[in-house]
């Protein structure tokens, strides 16, 4: 039984660890950039929430009153600013890492074939 599984496991590990460099294609690039924009915007939301938590904490610590803007303790446009900055930052990070991973293949040259 084990002798049947070993070739399958070797095939799976070879596929998983890219024994050959990946080829860049247009759909891969689009998916890569969209995923990095989504990740960047989510990180922007998290950063906005952390700033909001810090703001509420400082208000409570110094016993100040909270002024709510449309049920938000911070100005509403800050939410949009963090979202846009996260999305733009994610796009540029996606372009940077696409260049490094798929075009220049820096990880391939430094790591050999990762075996």
81 half-sphere exposure, CB direction, 13 A CA radius? 7
**Tens of pLDDT along 51-99?**
989 988 998 899 988 777 767 778 888 989 999 999 999 999 999 999 9
Q: From residue 80, give the alpha-carbon distance in Å to each of 47, 58, 65.
A: 12, 22, 24
Task: Please tell me the distance from the alpha carbon of residue 101 to that of residue 106, in angstroms, as a whole number.
Answer: 6
CB atoms within 10 A of CB 110: 8
Q: Is the pTM of this model over 0.85?
A: no
Domain coordinates in residue numbering, the chain: 26-111
What pLDDT, on a 0 to 100 scale, did the predictor assign at position 115?
Answer: 42
């Amino acid at each position: 039984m084990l002798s049947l599984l070993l070739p399958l496991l070797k095939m799976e590990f070879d596929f998983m660890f890219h024994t050959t460099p990946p080829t860049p294609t247009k759909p891969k690039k689009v998916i890569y950039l969209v995923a990095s924009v989504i990740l960047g915007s989510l990180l922007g939301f998290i950063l906005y929430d952390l700033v909001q938590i810090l703001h509420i904490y400082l208000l409570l610590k110094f016993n100040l009153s909270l002024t709510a803007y449309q049920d938000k303790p911070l100005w509403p446009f800050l939410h949009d600013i963090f979202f846009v900055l996260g999305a733009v930052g994610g796009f540029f990070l996606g372009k940077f890492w696409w260049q490094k991973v798929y075009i220049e293949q820096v990880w391939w040259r430094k790591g050999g074939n990762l075996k």
